[in-house]
Amino acid sequence: MRAQITLTSSESKRLIAKGVKALPVMQKALAEHTIVLAGGTTNAFLAEEILGITIEVKSAYTVGIITEGKTGVSVENTRIHPFIITKGKALGAEVHWKDYLAKLEPGDVFVKGGNAVDHTGLAAVAASNLTGGTIGAAAGPLNVRGIELIVPIGLEKLVPDVREAVEFMAGHRPDEAIGDKVGLVPMLGATVVTEITALETLFPVQAKCIAAGGVNGSEGAITLVLEGEEATIKDALDLIKSLKGEPAVK
């Protein structure tokens, strides 16, 4: 059986958050290890799914943001401190994720949002901070310590070729910009979770993206087709229907 669905950007973020939480490595980390939930609007949805909290202004859970037609940063005095979650419980806000990097061990997980993904599954993040922002600080320790990096990212951020984009940007920052000037940092070796990954993690289905875009509130929407057994597809549709009407990210 096949079913066609369309998800707005915020509905996609909710679905991806559910898919990330369901990953076996995340379930094990929630039970036995530590998760560093770094900045990103999709990570705000993930924080809600894991901790049972509500974050009304999802953009408060990120620093870098693209909004109002330009690159920039979120409002500093309303930002939410990234959560460090140990055995399913959030540590106090006094524990900063940068200070916790030296404590990470195999089995722990670092979750970071991104700005670009391509058909090969390579993701990258834009950074205006001159030391590379979050990923600039975290990449070395994560790689050396063998910590899994998970990147939740919607297909609205699909670009033709991340490697080509990174190489194009390397060695020459923009001379002029509408908004903040950014560089592009690849996240090699990351487990990338899109809407397709989420659906195929949550259900025994095959999913394909067949269209993207929309208008009148559906800008950034994607249209997918799911294939699987009838009962499975109906279960998947029930979940998708429960996501419909997810408020746009503010």
Per the DSSP assignment, residues forming a β-bridge with 86 are: 34, 89
The per-residue pLDDT for range 219-234, each reduced to its tens digit, is 999 999 999 999 999 9
Residue 210 in any domain: the answer is no
Q: CB within 8 A of 99, min separation 6: which ones?
A: none
Q: What pLDDT was estimated at residue 94?
A: 85
Q: Which residue has the tokens 């109906």?
A: 234
Give ∠ CA 129-133-107 in degrees, rounded to 5.
Answer: 175
Q: Which residue has the tokens 């070729």?
A: 161
Residue type, 237: L
- The CATH number covering residue 116 comes to 3.40.50
CA-closest candidate to residue 115, choices 170, 56, 75, 63: 63
What is the enclosing helix (H) or strand (E) of 209? strand 206-212
Residues of the chain with pLDDT under 50: none
The per-residue pLDDT for range 182-228, each reduced to its tens digit, is 999 999 999 999 999 999 999 999 999 999 999 999 999 999 999 99
Domain enclosing residue 189, as ranges: 10-195
Gyration radius of the chain over CA positions: 18
Q: What pLDDT was estimated at residue 93?
A: 83
How many domains are contained in the chain?
A: 1
Q: What pLDDT was estimated at residue 119?
A: 96
Q: What pLDDT was estimated at residue 179?
A: 97
Residue 5 in any domain: the answer is no
